[in-house]
Amino acid sequence: MTSLTHCLELDHRRLDAALLETKDLATQGAFTPALDRFRVVAAGLSRHIDAEETILFPALGSAAAGPVRVMCMEHVRLREHLEAIRAALAANSSAWAEETRAFEVLLEQHNAKEERVLYPLSNDVTRGRPDVTTLRAALETAIAVPAVEP
């Protein structure tokens, strides 16, 4: 049986790969395809954040109040970076590179905190709960890649 948060960790890897593809395209000056690929990153990260904030965090109750508060603050900053990168790519601006570097630093630190602190805590808090299977299914559904990405 996989842990409650296993799908979220896998989603981190998928989003990292899509961001790398975006960077490769933008580095080549292919801004339109880069923007198209970036839309996949932005939509996926938005689904991921929404799943954490609407499904995972409420399921933890007060057991993870401190880490959840930090994650929510970082989610706001990540969304701000997403918009700045999108705007730079849409404008064919070289500013995408600096914005992406800042985004990657924050995202790497954020994901590390989730994977080393919050997700293990989440798995401990929900272990043995009768609703853990339902929670896992809800997370998987919430982050699922739609048949047609934006």
* Residue 99 DSSP SS3: helix
Q: Which of 119, 127, 17 is nearest to 68 (CA)?
A: 119
Q: Grade residue 145 by pLDDT with cuts at 50, 70 and 90.
A: confident
pLDDT digits (tens, 9 = 90+) for 18-72: 999 999 999 999 999 999 999 999 999 999 999 999 999 999 999 999 999 999 9
pLDDT digits (tens, 9 = 90+) for 81-129: 999 999 999 999 999 999 999 999 999 999 999 999 999 999 999 999 9
Q: What is the pLDDT of residue 2?
A: 84
Boundaries of every domain in the chain: 6-143
Q: Does the structure show a pLDDT above 80 at 78?
A: yes
